[in-house]
Structure 1
Amino acid sequence: MKIKYFYQQLASHLGVIIIAFVILSLLFSSFARNFVYENKTEELLSYGSSILNELETNGNSRMVLQSYGHVLGGRDIQYSLFDENSRIIYSTGLKTALIELNEEEWNELQNGKAITVKQEYKRFNQAVTFALLPYFHNGHFGGGILLTSPIKGSRELISELNSYVLYAMGLALLAALLLSSLLSRFHGRRIKRLRAATANVSQGDYSVRIPSSEVDEIGELAGDFNGMVEKLGASMEEIESLENRRRQFMADVSHELRTPLTTIRGIIEGLRNDMISESEKERGLELASRETMRLIRLVNENLDYEKIRSNQVTLMKQEIDLTELLEIIGEQLEDAAEEKGDRIIVSVDGQISVWADYDRLTQVLINITKNSIQFTEKGTIWLRGRSADEGTVIEIEDTGIGMQAEEVEKIWNRFYKAIDSRTTNPYGEFGLGLSIVKQLVQLHGGTITVESEQDKGTLFRIVLPHEK
């Protein structure tokens, strides 16, 4: 159910004011009542102490008692003296012969404690506030004094205070009406702000946001608007990132092609200068042939980044000797590792083969290994392989700078850069990227995970299923 803004503001503010003043009036009334009765009992105790002191000094003088009676009578206070047997020996108000006290009150008086009632109390045939003070003569209880004051005057004072509270409530209600009117205008400005934000979005500003809520239509509209702008901003960022990545990739494509070209050139130079033995020539030619085919695919498909990103890649799976593959990768990246003072160690448990696309798996492993080299200085990088029940396990571990936990969760996002130094990666920032690495691993039906700790290194683990 929707409620118009004017009625929302009117009801809410009036409700708050009324509830607040009801609570405050109750608290104030209670406080005022306690305050009035507290003052009254203190006054009674003060007069009672003065009368007892005067009697103890001057003896049981009727003149003293009468003078105090005149003074207290003007303040509407009566007092009565009684002996140890509760018999009244002098009184200015009570028309009785005995003071009616219960056993507990007598015990308190005899122990030297004063008794007071600070609120309205029906006692001694009238509603009064009263105080009882004990009287001791030579250390023996000799009775006491009772002072009473009718509550009529206190009631009048409390009623007057309450009337002021009611006047204040009326003024507050008027103020609430005025405030509600002002707030209605404020909500009108909310609509204008929404229109201004829409104009900013139409001009390409996707950072604008509007406070939203689900209380009313404007709040819901603001929430929908924020969601729309957020999606538009994300789409525009992705488009801009893709375009920047395309442009930068064309500038850095030479880095992507450097590895296979360097390998092929080295083999050709080695063959030309007879630096490769006869026993190694066949292996060198095979390596050159593979690198040539990989180079052709790099040129044909890596230039079309979207083809890889959208998984439009046909895998040519085959049995690959894992030891040979990891050694080739170690040899290809050995120079890059030496520049950083790193060592690459290849370790494979026995003769293990992996069922995968040679070129794509090579790209995946080179990309991860390059990352390890980039973020490791004077450390060690392990390329390991083993067979497990779930498939062939390939691990790339380094002793580099590692990552924080929040970074580990983000590295698979497209275009994510763990640190600014990625933008100056000498091996090419714009290769496959870890998001594409993950997609290629998933295309193989495998999984890739990462474990990392700040300043202690990173471990990438790839598991590829066995051939079915």
Structure 2
Amino acid sequence: MRLQSQLNAAFTALLLVILTVAGIVIYSLILNMLIEDERAELKQKGELLVQVLNEQYQSKRGNQGVRHFLQQQDLQLFLYDRSRNRVLFSTMPDRYVQGFSSKQYFADNQETLWDAGNSKFVTSRILFQPKTTGLELILLTPLDDLQAIQQDFFRRLVIVFLIGTIAAVMLSYLLTKKLVTPLTKLKKQLKKIERRKFDQIEPIKATGEIKEVEQSVYDMAAELERYMASQQAFFQNASHELKTPLMTIQGYAEGIRDKVFDEADQEKGLEMMVTEVERLKKIINEMIFLAKLDSDRSTYHPESIRVSELLDQVLDRALPIINENGVTLHHEVDKNVYVIADAEKFLQALLNLTFNAIRHAYSQVNVTVSDTAIVVEDDGEGISEDMLPHIFHRFVKGKTGETGLGLAIARAIIEQSGGKIMVRDSDLGGAKFIIVLPE
């Protein structure tokens, strides 16, 4: 079942349940209200009749005039003498008088709903003044009359409910259509993403949470497109990087096999083959390491690390390359800075950034550690504008780069540690890499 149909069905079912419960409650309350209103009206009529009888027939309560007056009122009533427990006058058939008497209704002042056979009556009793006379006027209204009013009112209420239900269902249909239409359009855009037609994705009109979902879908599509492009570039670059040493190894191997080299060239070829194998091994190891960083979180073991201790290890390992390149490395470290990270991997990230800066520096590299960031900068030629957006992608490297994977590995490690890495132009003239530490 489609979402719109499900929403309409759920709303209609809820509405019917509410109206049914409301109808049952109202139906029962209507009769009680009618009984109370009728009893109040009977009391008002009875008090008026008693007042008239007290004023005009005070000395002649038992004579024909009183009977004639009561007969003219077109009411169902009894004139009852409480002191003698006797009905003096009645406008109702004798069978009701006998039925009510047999059930002691006349003597019972508390019972207000009388029944005789299949008929029920609402009653109201009014005493004559003074009370010592013992006379009482009892007025009755058949309950069937009130039930007829109840049923007529309820029929009209059902008609109102039906009209309201139809209007509410139509309004629900319009509202759910307005709600579901953007989702339907969004589904079509997702189909385009599924078919990788990123250039055909179109914005849709939506509000609220659906607008947020739409934005998330477009962000996901952009990220997926970027990821697929990066993967394609990765495979192209990887094939190129792997192909070059393999071709070199193949060339020398075939030359040695076919004995086209003399003894000196054979030695040179073997050395070159060993060098290319080492380079190939390094590329493959870094590719495997980067793949593990991206896919296997179980290899990451975070702990609290003092950054100054990591930097001491970086300086110790960088000393040979510093001396080889004739570069001066300055460092300024806040010894109270800690970071939650995998010590071995975070050290690898710092080594990659530091070695990269030393290789590209003319004469100077600065490393600064504060409570919010780690900065590694050099005075080299810097990063070109066209390479800047791709500097952390795989196999992107400068003139003196090695595998093109070092910065990609550094970014993966830093992001897994909850940090962020950025690159800027340095005041020294070269590149400045900034590691923003997590709080």
Q: TM-score range by the shorter chain?
A: 0.3 to 0.5
The TM-score, its normalising length taken from structure 1, stands at 0.42
